[in-house]
Chain A
Amino acid sequence: MINQETSTSIDLVQRLRKGEAGAYQKIVDQWQNRVFNFALRYSNDQHFASEVVQKTFIQVFEKIDQLKDPSKLKSWLYKIASNNCCSEGRLKAKSNYTQLEEQNLHTLDLDTPAKRYEKAELKTVVEEVLQQIPDEQRQVIIMKEYEGLKFREIAEILGESENTIKSRMYYGLDAMRKILINKNLSKDLYHE
């Protein structure tokens, strides 16, 4: 049974292969925010994420003929984005928290200033902790937690077995658990 997203992907890939510029624009519109957020969580750097978005969509355009199964557009796109995150990560320094804090100022929040501050602090801590674990574990956690991909899909994207992916996920979560406990951030504090 083909779902709506898959059938749209097949249609867009076929149209792009025929040379329709409109199809390319639709792919960009549909996926650029997800790719951006994926890269942003991976790097915690907006410029890094923008670079990854740009490179990813240029490669999508250039290599669309290499996509054997058009229904796998989503996995293929994440694979390119993931590779770009790794290659870009080797070139650039990580972490720029200032930009994320600036962005927070623009979001509508009805909490009290104290609560807002507490939430922002917590987010910063989580992002810091995420940056402390190895790249391959972070990548899997982001894909699972934020992109909502199945273990099978992540395995397909990263070209690894499902067991390897689960193993990375487990060690990633475990590493985060230890760091958070060392920081004395208990569940009680979080629920205060």
Chain B
Amino acid sequence: MNREKILDYLYGEMAPDEKVVFEKTIAINAVLQKEIDEFQMVREYLGQSKDQTGSPIQMVVNAPVRRNLWNRWWTVAASLLLLLMAGKFLDLRVTIDQHQLSIGYGNLQSVSVDPNLELQQQYVMLGKSLGDLQSQLASYQEMVSHPEQTLPSGQKVDMRELAKMVGNMVEKEQETTENRLAEKILEDQQIAIQSMAQGLIRYWDEQRKNDLQMINTGMENLVRAVQMNSQDLTQFVNNTQQNY
């Protein structure tokens, strides 16, 4: 009885009126008082470790994606659609009727499981069917890896020739593209050279005019200077003759 009350009192889970009565009991009971004091001491020790907290070393929990049922059904529907499309190309057949699910392709015999059989027999049938299907798929894989293939139209194709043809087409296209690119570069270069030549001609023309003007001015100045010098020379000669 005391055990539960001690704990309720220590952890403050005692009703107020009950607490008053209990405290009166403690006051007159030295053994109970000692017990409560010692329990309180243990709690104080435990409290020393209260800040001893941490967090996970790493964030180890990642939020996984929780898909609801609706999404799952859409996934199934999409898978079936994909299977039917693949079946169209690979001549794969999936047949579902009232009693059987059959999967097969080409002219090979289809495999089936009859749900009316006993469960154990169904497992045996399913195992056999899966084995058959596996061997069919293996033969299909071998067929696909063969260099000579027959298209659904019946036309025979040599895969090596086809690869060569595609390679040639790619190479030719690449060559054409390179040629087009080279032509464009040449055209651009020609335009740039023409533009530069025209600019030079304009510059030279202007320069020539300036040079001519300068030469003419120089010539005029020279003629004038010569004339002046000639007058001076005549005067000098006359003066000299007069002195001698």
Contacts and interface: CB of A to CB of B under 8 A. Distances in A.
Interface residues of B, number: 38
B48 A33 contact: no
Contacts of B48: 119, 122-123, 126, 190
A180 B221 CA distance: 126
Mostly, the B contact residues are loop
Interface in B27-85: 37-39, 41-61, 63-68, 71
Given A19-B66, A25-B63, A170 B3 contact: yes
Contacts of B6: 170
Interface string A101-143: 0011001000000000001001101110110000000000100
B54 A37 contact: yes
Contacts of B63: 21-22, 24-25, 28
A22 B60 CA distance: 16
A54 B56 CA distance: 9
B18 interface: no
Interface in A18-32: 18-22, 24-25, 28, 32
B43 A166 contact: no
- Sorting the interface of chain A by its residue count into under 10, 10 to 19, 20 to 34 or 35 or more gives 35 or more
Contacts of B39: 173-174, 177
The 3 closest A-B pairs by CB, nearest first: A57-B61, A19-B66, A19-B68
17 contacts: A16-B66, A18-B68, A19-B67, A24-B66, A32-B59, A33-B56, A37-B54, A40-B53, A40-B54, A47-B57, A50-B57, A126-B45, A126-B48, A144-B11, A145-B43, A167-B3, A176-B45
Interface of B: 3-4, 6-8, 11, 13, 37-39, 41-61, 63-68, 71
